[in-house]
A and B are shown apart, each in its own frame.
Chain A
Amino acid sequence: GNSVTQMEGPVTLSEEAFLTINCTYTATGYPSLFWYVQYPGEGLQLLLKATKADDKGSNKGFEATYRKETTSFHLEKGSVQVSDSAVYFCALSDGVQFYFGTGTSLTVIP
């Protein structure tokens, strides 16, 4: 079946540090992959996506590359800001259902 395994948190970084949140997946077929961000008390917002192997999704300085050979979609940012503090979810879609990781809480301290 389809599933997503995401790096456990919480993660605490200093401002301007490099961020990596690991995500690996198991899927049949050719899923699309996503990163969502959730700020306190809000719904999930799409951060970036990739729909096929070797695609790189990017937004607001965040990047993730769809790696079919390693079944991974790791989230990276070169220099985090305090405003990036949130919970990040990796997800995949088979075209109908969405499968989410357990979320990684990120806190960025000044």
Chain B
Amino acid sequence: SQTIHQWPATLVQPVGSPLSLECTVEGTSNPNLYWYRQAAGRGLQLLFYSVGIGQISSEVPQNLSASRPQDRQFILSSKKLLLSDSGFYLCAWSISGNTEAFFGQGTRLTVV
């Protein structure tokens, strides 16, 4: 069966520090991968999605970047965090063709 792992679960980082959040999927090949951010009490904002290795689409220009070094690995990064980067980050995967998306457990990032 397919599983998605996202880590760390919580993270407190100072302003100006770098960020690396990792997401891996098991049990499937060539998934579509997504990074979302959820601000407190708000909906989901799509940050990046990828339909294949090295293919990254950015939905919102910001202080973040994403990479997909392997088929089932998706990394969210920042060189210098801002206070406004605080939020709940969710990784998800799906298979093209109108199937559902499956979400990780999320990372609670607090920038202080």
**B104 in the interface (beta carbon within 8 A):** yes
A46 contacts B102, C-beta separation under 8 Å: yes
- Chain A contacts with B in 49-104, Cβ cutoff 8 A: 49, 51, 89, 91, 93-98, 100-103
Give the number of residues in B that approach A within 8 Å (Cβ atoms). Answer: 24
Contacts of B42 in A (CB 8 A): 102-103
B108 contacts A41, C-beta separation under 8 Å: yes
Q: Chain A contact residues (Cβ within 8 angstroms of B): what range? A: 20 to 34
Q: How far is the CA of A97 from the CA of B104 in the complex (A)?
A: 17
A101 contacts B43, C-beta separation under 8 Å: yes
Counting chain A CB atoms within 10 Å of each CB, which of B44, B46, B51 scores highest? Answer: B44
**B101 in the interface (beta carbon within 8 A):** yes
**B94 in the interface (beta carbon within 8 A):** yes
A103 contacts B103, C-beta separation under 8 Å: no
A-binding residues in B (CB < 8 A)? 6, 32, 34, 42-44, 46, 49, 51, 90, 92, 94, 96-106, 108
